[in-house]
């Protein structure tokens, strides 16, 4: 099927693209198991080539992070945003914060992945704006593992299907702080294997006696207080946070992500993730962050983002559960 598309495409290309452009695109198609009809092939080739040019131009500059082709490279940012980010602003109301910082000291760096079996494997949300559920489960999985010594993958699908009464919207967004509230009042979250992820919103089928994780209290970190985040991650556990994804982040590869295009306020955040640690690279402090776009994106599914500047609003809306 792919070979047939290749042969036809070489003859009928309607764009002023080089053979090398098509070669790169076809190689990428094979790598990512992509098949298109003829019309779609030309459209995706054009988008892919524009994305590749943008990536190459960025990588020629002096930046703290590099970009690369990935599974999203045949998409415009508009398409990507529609499928993988929140479609509407989330009202991050839990901004006063009830977290009380420790007296320190904080470690200079920490990585909960290396401290024990405390962080589950990177998962993949698919074409559903359910990142908030993965941030939530990732945080609760880690907090529970630190408390009990048992690391159990938890059910994002339960949150997608069941947490609407707490101002969450399935595949159209939500917030970890509100998801933790749901788990607390619902008295539990099931295991992933008992309530498998489907990447679409369905009927709530929660079974109380199969609950595997619980929340006693929700800790909301004071809005824009990034040092409280450092204190929480450095002395307690990973922390959920939200931030604004802009077009260059779609093609992030490695290094410390920074941006001059993103906003730093609660009303612009569109993606939720999990801070599993922090460190410093060439004098730039960063967060170590677990994403939910599969292990093929970024650094095995992770990224670094600059710490200490509320980069892209990352300190606007952070939280974690107490178990």
Domains parsed from the chain with CATH numbers: 23-62 (no CATH), 78-322 (3.90.70.10)
Say yes or no to pLDDT of 10 above 50. Answer: no
- Contact 120/157 with Cβ under 8 angstroms? no
For residues 52-66, give the mean pLDDT.
97
pTM: 0.93
- Contact 25/13 with Cβ under 8 angstroms? no
Q: Enumerate the active-site residues.
A: 131, 271, 291
Tens digit of each residue's pLDDT (9 = 90 or more) over 31-47: 999 999 999 999 999 99
Q: Give 9's pLDDT tier (boundaries 50, 70, 90).
A: very low
* CA–CA separation, 164 and 186 (whole Å): 12
203, 204, 210, 216 alpha-carbon torsion, rounded to 10°: 160
Residue 252's nearest CA partner among 63, 24, 1 is 63
Q: What DSSP line would sit under 296-310, residue for residue?
A: TSTBTTEEEEE-SS-
For residues 186-196, give the mean pLDDT.
98
In angstroms, how far is the first alpha carbon of the chain from the final one? 52
Residue of higher predicted confidence among 102 and 216: 216
Tens digit of each residue's pLDDT (9 = 90 or more) over 271-316: 999 999 999 998 999 999 999 999 999 999 999 999 999 999 999 9
Strand segments (E) across the chain: 65-67, 110-111, 189-190, 211-213, 217-220, 239-243, 252-257, 271-281, 284-290, 302-306, 319-322
Q: Give 17's pLDDT tier (boundaries 50, 70, 90).
A: confident
Residue of higher predicted confidence among 15 and 220: 220
- Contact 207/188 with Cβ under 8 angstroms? no
Residue of higher predicted confidence among 4 and 79: 79
Both structure tokens of 247: 């077009």
* CA–CA separation, 294 and 123 (whole Å): 5
Q: What mean pLDDT value characterizes the chain?
A: 93
Say yes or no to pLDDT of 205 above 80. Answer: yes
């Amino acid at each position: 099927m792919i070979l047939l598309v290749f042969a036809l495409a070489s003859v009928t290309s309607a764009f002023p693209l080089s053979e090398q452009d098509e070669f790169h695109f076809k190689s990428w198609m094979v790598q990512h198991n992509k098949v298109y009809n003829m019309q779609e092939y030309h459209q995706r080739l054009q988008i892919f080539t524009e994305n590749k040019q943008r990536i190459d131009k960025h990588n020629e500059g002096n930046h703290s992070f590099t970009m690369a082709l990935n599974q999203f490279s045949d998409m415009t940012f508009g398409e990507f945003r529609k499928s993988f980010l929140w479609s509407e602003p989330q009202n991050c109301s839990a901004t006063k914060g009830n977290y009380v910082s420790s007296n320190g000291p904080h470690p200079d760096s920490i990585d909960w992945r290396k401290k024990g079996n405390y962080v589950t494997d990177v998962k993949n949300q698919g074409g559903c704006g359910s990142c908030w559920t993965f941030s939530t489960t990732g945080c609760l999985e880690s907090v529970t593992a630190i408390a009990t010594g048992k690391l159990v993958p938890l059910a994002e699908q339960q949150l997608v299907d069941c947490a609407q009464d707490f101002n969450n919207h399935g595949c159209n967004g939500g917030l970890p702080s509100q998801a933790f509230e749901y788990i607390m009042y619902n008295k539990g979250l099931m295991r992933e294997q008992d309530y498998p992820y489907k990447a679409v919103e369905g009927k709530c089928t929660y079974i109380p006696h199969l609950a595997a994780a619980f929340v006693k209290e929700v800790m909301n970190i004071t809005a824009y207080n990034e040092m409280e985040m450092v204190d929480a991650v450095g002395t307690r556990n990973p922390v959920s946070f939200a931030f604004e994804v802009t077009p260059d982040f779609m093609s992030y590869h490695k290094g410390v992500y920074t941006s001059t295009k993103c906003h730093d306020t609660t009303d612009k955040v569109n993606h939720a993730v999990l801070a599993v640690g922090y460190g410093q690279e060439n004098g730039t402090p960063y967060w170590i962050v677990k994403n939910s776009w599969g292990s093929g994106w970024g650094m095995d599914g992770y990224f670094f983002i600059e710490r200490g500047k509320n980069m892209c609003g990352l300190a606007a809306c952070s939280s974690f559960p107490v178990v």
